[in-house]
Structure 1
Amino acid sequence: MSSLIKLELARVLRNRKFMFFSVIYPSVIFLLASNQNGTDGKVAGTGLTVAAYVMVSMASFGALTAVLMGNSERIAKERESGWVRQLRLTPLPGRGYVLAKTASAAVVSLPSIVVVFLIAAAVRDVRLDAWQWVALTGAIWAGSLVFAALGVAIGYLASGDAVRPITMIIYFGLSILGGLWFPVSGFPRWLQDIADWLPTHAYAALGQAIEQSRAPHAKDIAVLAVSFALFTGGAAWLYRKDTLKA
């Protein structure tokens, strides 16, 4: 499996357009969004400044972009090209394939997180303790594994022609409803109740808890853990199902 991970990393890092999009895109949105109503204004119900709140949201969004968009489309194309069929001739189990894809995608998400943090500190004057920067990076990076597994599942669920629109719907739906673009406090009550159970909302909440110097809610950790188990299990099941069809 380690050989497959190395191969996946080499292939992704050679895709300069994807790397540029996944790293620069969230940083640009951060600069635009954090400039609304002043960077020192407080986000209701959090005690965080606009800049600090948007920083975590856009770092999470950048990681989501890297792992979800990259995995789903790449896997759908690999299925059509016959690459996956070749892998089935090896002893690699379904869970090994899923874990290799998930791990390689997570490595790609790290630059998008770091760049947002650097811009936030240099341009928007976001100041945190050293331990908070380290904890934020680790939490958002580890949390991206949930969506990397989702990307693998989508790649096996959709055909090459349908994977992009399906991924975009899920991508923007999770981002917007999960509060990565707008604070969920501005949503109607019924929509806030839905957002509370979305993995993207729990994902951003981890970072916000670190910024507030408090422990994350057990509910948010549970939502992410259950989501990871469901997405990973679903991806492995779809891999095996696709194998039987071949």
Structure 2
Amino acid sequence: MKTLVKLEIARTLRNKKFVFFSVLYPVLLYVLIAGGASEDELVKGTKLTLPLLMMVSMASFGAITAVLVGNSEKIAKEREKGWVRQLRLTALPGRGYVAAKVASASVVSLPSILAVFAVAAAVKHVRLDAWQWAALTGSIWAGSIVFAALGVAIGYLATGDAVRPITFIIYFALAILGGLWMPTTTFPQWLQDIAAWTPTHAYAALGQAIEVGDAPHLKDVSLLFAYLVLFAGGAAWLYRKDTRKA
């Protein structure tokens, strides 16, 4: 499985388009949204300035791009080309293939997180304690596994032609509803109530709690864990279903 993980990482890093969208795109969005914002004024309904709020949001957005979009498209295309079927003929167990996809996606999500942090510190003078930087990196990186599992599930659900539109509809809907592009405090109350139960909202909330010096809230951690069980369970069921078809 280690060999497959290394292969997946190498293939991903050679994809310049993927690197742009997962690393540079979130950085550009951060500069566009927070570049001209006040470094002192708090966003209404929060304890954070817009540069701090969007730093976590864009780091999370970049990580989701790496693990969700990358996984779903690659798996759907590999199924279509027969690569997954060939792997089933080797000694690699099915769970090994899925684990390799999740692990490799999680590894390549790290540069997108660090790039946003670096730009926030350089351009908007974001300053945090060392433990906060470490905790932010760890929580956003670990939380991306939830969306990696979702990417695997979509990859087994959709065909090669349909996977991109399906993925991007889910991707943008989760980003918008979760408040990754704009604070959810700007939403109507009914939409805020819905957004509070999305995985992206809970994901961003982990980092936002750390930025104000608190531990991540139990509700957000529990919600993310529930989504991980749901997405991973769905991926496992779809994998078994795909195996029976083969």
Give the equivalent residue in structure 2 for 1:215. Answer: 215
- Determine if the alignment matches structure 1 residue 191 to structure 2 residue 191: yes
2:74 matched residue in structure 1:
74
The amino acid across from 1:168 in the alignment is F
Report how far residue 29 of structure 1 moved.
0.2
Partner of 2:201: 201
**How many aligned positions are there?**
246
1:241 paired to 2:223: no
Q: Which residue of structure 1 aligns with residue 3 of structure 2?
A: 3
Whether the aligned pair in 2 keeps the contact of 1:98 and 1:232 (CA below 8 Å) is: no
What is the aligned partner in structure 2 of residue 119 from structure 1? 119
Q: Which range moves more in the overlay, 16-25 or 86-95? A: 86-95
Query: Shift of residue 68 of structure 1?
Result: 0.7
Task: Give the letter aligned to residue 106 of structure 1.
Answer: S
CA distance in 1, matches of 2:236, 2:108: 21
Q: Percent identity?
A: 71
AA matched with 2:45: G
User: 3-state SS of the aligned residue for 2:97?
Assistant: helix
Aligned residue runs from structure 1 range 1-246, under 5 A: 1-246=1-246
* Deviation for aligned residue 1:42: 0.9
Moved more, 108-117 or 83-92: 83-92
**What is the alpha-carbon distance in structure 2 between the residues aligned to residue 191 and residue 94 of structure 1?**
39
Deviation at residue 97 of structure 1 after TM alignment: 1.8
CA distance in 2, matches of 1:131, 1:42: 23
Residue type of the partner of 2:13? Answer: L
**AA aligned opposite 1:190:** W
Q: State which drifts further: 13-22 or 205-214.
A: 13-22
Q: Could you tell me how far apart the structure 2 residues matched to 1:21 and 1:173 are?
A: 17
Structure 1 CA distance for aligned equivalents of residues 61 and 19 of structure 2: 14
Contact persistence 1:66–1:105 (CA under 8 A): yes
Distance in 1 between the 2:243 and 2:157 partners? Answer: 13
Matches of 1:56 and 1:122, distance apart in 2: 15
**How many angstroms apart in 1 are the aligned matches of 2:223 and 2:92?**
29
The answer as to whether partners of 2:66 and 2:108 remain within 8 angstroms in 1 is yes
Q: What is the Cα deviation at residue 95 of structure 1?
A: 2.3
Partners of 1:52 and 1:240 lie apart in 2 by: 43
Instruction: Please report how far the alpha carbon of residue 87 of structure 1 lies from its aligned counterpart in structure 2 after TM superposition.
Output: 1.0
TM-align CA RMSD: 1.1
Using the size of structure 1 for normalisation, the TM-score is 0.97
Letter in 2 for 1:192: Q
The answer (yes or no) to whether the contact 2:5–2:100 under 8 Å persists in 1 is yes
Whichever residue aligns with residue 152 of structure 2, its letter is V
TM-score normalised over the length of structure 2:
0.97
Please give the alpha-carbon distance, in whole angstroms, between the structure 2 residues aligned to 1:233 and 1:188.
33
Q: Could you tell me how far 1:157 is from its partner in structure 2?
A: 0.4
2:20 maps to amino acid: F
Runs of 4+ in 1 over 3 A off after TM superposition: none
Alpha carbons 1:26, 1:61 under 8 Å: kept: yes
Deviations 1:181-236 (A, max 9, x none): 11111111221111111110000000000001111111100111111111111111
Unaligned runs of 5+ in 2: none
- One-letter amino acid of the structure 2 residue matched with residue 203 of structure 1: Y
Conserved? CA contact 1:79–1:85, under 8 Å: yes
Q: Secondary structure at the match of 1:44?
A: coil
The Cα shift of 1:135 comes to 0.6
**CA deviation vs aligned residue, 1:134-175 (integer Å, no higher than 9, x gap):** 110111001111101101110110001100000010000000
